[in-house]
Amino acid sequence: MAAIVYYKSYSELIKLPTFEQRFEYLALHGVIGAETFGSNRCFNQDFYRRKEWKDARRAVIIRDNGCDLGIADREIVDRIYVHHINPITIEDVLNARPILFDPENLICVSNRTHEAIHYGDKSLLMLDEIERKPNDTCPWRKNNVRK
């Protein structure tokens, strides 16, 4: 079996200033239904329960301030995913390769961004930021904003 070449890193990723550039750097353009580490539930559930993974995940969330692709003004408001920049394999897990927990191979992403990365589907992303206004998320106060 040919060795997998890992060539992307967090240090390189964060040099890219925009969300769109970071997404393009990470996009895998995968195929729905193609076998990945994530499709092997037995291995992936065991891996993601490990203390080493939980510790690495916590450290990455703190480093990235819980922001999508580590961009300060893109706070993740729902579940935070920690994505392997270079995809991992069952062989990586079986051989306990350091790439599994290396912060240079990990980044915070939202669910939407995570799916877009794996399937290369830019339409899943929220590219335009929503302009917030007082009470815009409070339905009973929307029309009663005091001026």
- Mean pLDDT of the chain, nearest integer: 82
**pLDDT confidence of residue 34:** 46
Q: Does 86 map to a domain?
A: yes
d(CA 49, CA 77): 23
Q: Are 28 and 118 in contact (CB under 8 A)?
A: yes
Q: Does 147 map to a domain?
A: no
Closest CA to 84 of 66, 98, 67, 94: 98
**pLDDT confidence of residue 71:** 95
Give pTM, 2 decimals. Answer: 0.76
Count of structural domains within the chain: 1
Q: Does 103 map to a domain?
A: yes
Q: Does 114 map to a domain?
A: yes
Q: Does 141 map to a domain?
A: no
Q: Does 20 map to a domain?
A: yes
**pLDDT confidence of residue 141:** 57
Q: Does 1 map to a domain?
A: no
For 25, the enclosing helix (H) or strand (E) is helix 19-26
Residue 94: give the domain boundaries.
Answer: 10-125
d(CA 82, CA 105): 10
Q: Does 106 map to a domain?
A: yes
**pLDDT confidence of residue 31:** 54
Q: CA neighbours within 13 Å on the CB side: how many for 17?
A: 0
Residue 108, classed as helix, strand or coil, is strand
d(CA 69, CA 108): 6
